Amino acid sequence: MSEPFRFQLQAKDGAARLGAITMPRGTIRTPAFMPVGTAATVKTLTMDQVRGTGADIILGNTYHLMLRPGAERVARLGGLHEFARWPHPILTDSGGFQVMSLATLRKLDEKGVTFRSHIDGAKYEMSPERSIEIQGLLDSDIQMQLDECVALPAAYAEVERAMELSLRWAERCRIAFGDQPGRAMFGIVQGGAEPALRERSALVLKAMDLKGYAVGGLAVGEPQQVMLDMLEVTCPLLPAEKPRYLMGVGTPDDILKSVARGIDMFDCVMPTRAGRHGLAFTRRGRVNLRNARHADDHRPLDEESDCPAARDYSRAYLHHLIRAQESLGAMLLSWNNIAYYQNLMQGIRDAIGSGTFVSHAEKISASWAQGDIAPL
């Protein structure tokens, strides 16, 4: 991988940014939404379907893949791209969030985290160096530092302790990652809902001169305004010439408002999780296909969509599939939802490029009111 990792900022509209990340396996148009492929699969979809929606990059999960099938096995099988038939860029998270939220009997200290698998109780150790090693075995293109994410609300002292530990781990991850021209390691800004801690975290990470920066520890149950306030503190402190990634976000409304504050990359399980539960995202708002009102509705979800799931199947049929618990229903709605998110991002990119982002965002928000349920 001799071609370097590059981020080009192409246009701005207020704080909203249009850009492109170029790396050996492809170009990522930003702002970008990354479908979540937790266990080397975007649930219910083939990789061809995911690519067909317009996705440039997907996310894989270090914690789940290290447990099953195992990072060393994935490496023997050619790496995550070959294993999953996705030859395009992949970002892997560090596994830290899942260790904190899923693993049992975990013990955290300066060295790292010792925990037992939520699958079979087997004992594992995850240090910053081991996290980077696993991500390297998976052969991901963008790797994340190991960090500690505390649940909010939390006491100031606890948030500060976790943030400082995450900074020390970031430096160890930076050293372990070394110089890999075709790949990148991102640092993660922590600090909970405390502006002073967010500021310190951002400035220390900036001094490490990493290839990209993420904002973590948000969208974990706090009010949206808290998240937006922390972005307003953090984003201006990060290097303008490097990409910014808001982890685990989110709803379409979260994305619009975060783009307006300077975020370039997003990921969330929401599109596929909602699809598996009968919920569709559309230009006119969210549609609950479990609702009996759709039982005789011959209209598609969106007659103007390029996605067959949205354009070619009636709401009545989708309602039937969901009520009958047919797996095709989950697949079609997940396909529709990933396509909706990618179309949302393309519209955002076009609007930033033409200098109409604010009016475009207002138009999108107004259109959501036509759905079954209040917009997210």
> In the chain, what are the domain boundaries?
6-98+126-268, 275-369
Binding-site residue positions for substrate: 93-97, 147, 190, 217
Region 259-287: what's the mean pLDDT? Answer: 97
Binding-site residues sit at 93-97, 147, 190, 217
pLDDT at 369: 81
Q: Which of 79-83, 97-101, 123-127, 263-267 has the lowest mean pLDDT?
A: 97-101
- Predicted confidence (pLDDT) at residue 1 exceeds the cutoff of 80: no
209: annotated active-site residue = no
User: Of 13, 141, 267, 302, which residue is the catalytic one?
Assistant: 267
Q: What is the tens place of the pLDDT at every residue in 193-226?
A: 999 999 999 999 999 999 999 999 998 888 999 9
Nearest CA to 89 out of 180, 138, 27, 144 is that of 27
pLDDT at 117: 85
Phi and psi dihedrals of 351, rounded to 5?
-70, -40
Give percent of the chain with pLDDT exceeding 70: 97
For residues 273-278, average pLDDT: 97
Annotation says 93 is catalytic = yes
Is the four-CA dihedral 93, 247, 244, 51 of positive or negative sign? positive
pLDDT of residue 102: 64
Q: What is the pLDDT of residue 50?
A: 98
Question: What is the pLDDT at residue 287?
Answer: 96
How would residue 163 be classed by pLDDT, with cut points 50, 70 and 90? very high
Assign 346 to helix, strand or coil.
helix
**How high is the pLDDT of residue 151?**
85
Banded model confidence at residue 282, pLDDT cuts 50, 70, 90? very high
How confident is the prediction for the chain on average, in pLDDT?
Answer: 95
pLDDT of residue 220: 84
Sorting pLDDT into bands at 50, 70 and 90, what band is 370? confident
CATH label, 6-98+126-268, candidates 3.20.20.105, 1.10.3450.40, 3.30.360.10, 3.40.50.300 = 3.20.20.105
Which of 13, 56, 93, 254 does the annotation list as catalytic?
93
**Lowest-pLDDT range of 111-125, 239-253, 299-313:** 111-125
- For residues 31 and 348, is the Cβ–Cβ distance under 8 A? yes
Q: Per-residue pLDDT for 54 more than 70?
A: yes
Per-residue pLDDT tens digits for 4-35: 999 999 999 999 999 999 999 999 999 999 99
Nearest to 262 by CA among 295, 230, 298, 302: 230
Q: Is the pLDDT of residue 375 over 60?
A: no
The neighbouring-strand residues paired with 300 are 314
d(CA 59, CA 269): 10
Residue 374 confidence class, pLDDT cut points 50, 70, 90: low
pLDDT at 101 over 80: no
Per-residue pLDDT reduced to its tens digit, 180-194: 999 999 999 999 999
